[in-house]
Amino acid sequence: MNSIFSIHTVRFLVLVFVQVLILNHINFLGYINPYIYILFIALFPVKNNRVVLILLSFLLGLTVDMFLDTGGIHAGACVFIAYARPVILKSSFGMIYEHQSIKFNTVEFGSKLTYFTLLTVLHHIVLFSLEIFSVSRILLILQKTLFSSIFTILLSVIVTIIFSRKTK
């Protein structure tokens, strides 16, 4: 229990720092940034309490918001995907999730990719809708969502492959 607790604390801090100090300065083509701090929500243990996950996601989003001066857009998007996570888990992993025995290192690559994709796209849509906050510019929202999602998904998959041995 204790080691799991400390792993997640370290992961929380590392992801926030990597996000605000490195990834937010990429600005590829002017506005495309990956937001891989949502890996914390994606890789949170399935067994744990949902209330804990939602609260921690709010805290995660609010920390990122504080660094980026963005009001509450990251907090909102994080809380949203944290609440929607069981549904996404069920639709991407199917039966394994029902038995409550997912280990993210052992599941097959295809369903893991579906899981990351759904989570990322949902997060980015909420994030950019809140950021731009205007229905008349929905094309810009979709454009930002599309390009940033590709970047985020690619980076999340690479990161999970690289670090999969250590977290076993």
Partner 1 sequence: MQQIINFIIRNKNFLLFLLLFGISLLFTIQSHSYHKSKFINSANFLTGGVYNSANNVTGYFNLKTQNELLAAENKRLRKLLLNVNNNADSIFIDSLTFSEDYRFYSANIIKNSYSLNNNVLTINKGINDSIQQDFGVISSKGIVGIIDKTSGNYATVISILNGTSSISAQLKKTNHLGSLIWDGKDSKFTQLIDIPKIAKVKAGDTIITSGQSSIFPKGVPVGTIESFKLDQAENYYEINVRLFNDMTSIEHVYIIENANKEEISNLLGN
Residue 14 within binding range of partner 1, rule CB under 8 A: no
- 3-state secondary structure (DSSP) of residue 28: strand
Helix, strand or coil for residue 29? coil
42 binds partner 1 (CB under 8 A): no
How many residues line the site for partner 1 (CB under 8 A)? 34
Q: Cα(first)–Cα(last) distance of the chain, in Å?
A: 14
Beta carbons within 8 Å of 51's beta carbon, 6+ residues apart: none
In the complex, what is the shortest distance from the CB of residue 69 to partner 1, in angstroms, rounded to a whole number? 4
Determine if 34 is a binding residue for partner 1 (CB under 8 A): no
Q: Which is nearer to partner 1, 31 or 161 (CB)?
A: 31
Cβ closest to partner 1, residue 80 vs residue 97: 80
Tokens linked to 50:
């949902």
CB of 105 to partner 1, least distance (A): 27
Q: Which of residues 120-159 bind partner 1 (CB under 8 A)?
A: 130-133
The reply on whether position 73 binds partner 1 by CB under 8 A is: yes
- Taking CA atoms, 120 is separated from 37, 83, 147, in Å, by 11, 14, 11
138 Cα distance to chain centroid: 22
Q: Report the residue number, 42 or 112, with the smaller CB distance to partner 1.
A: 42
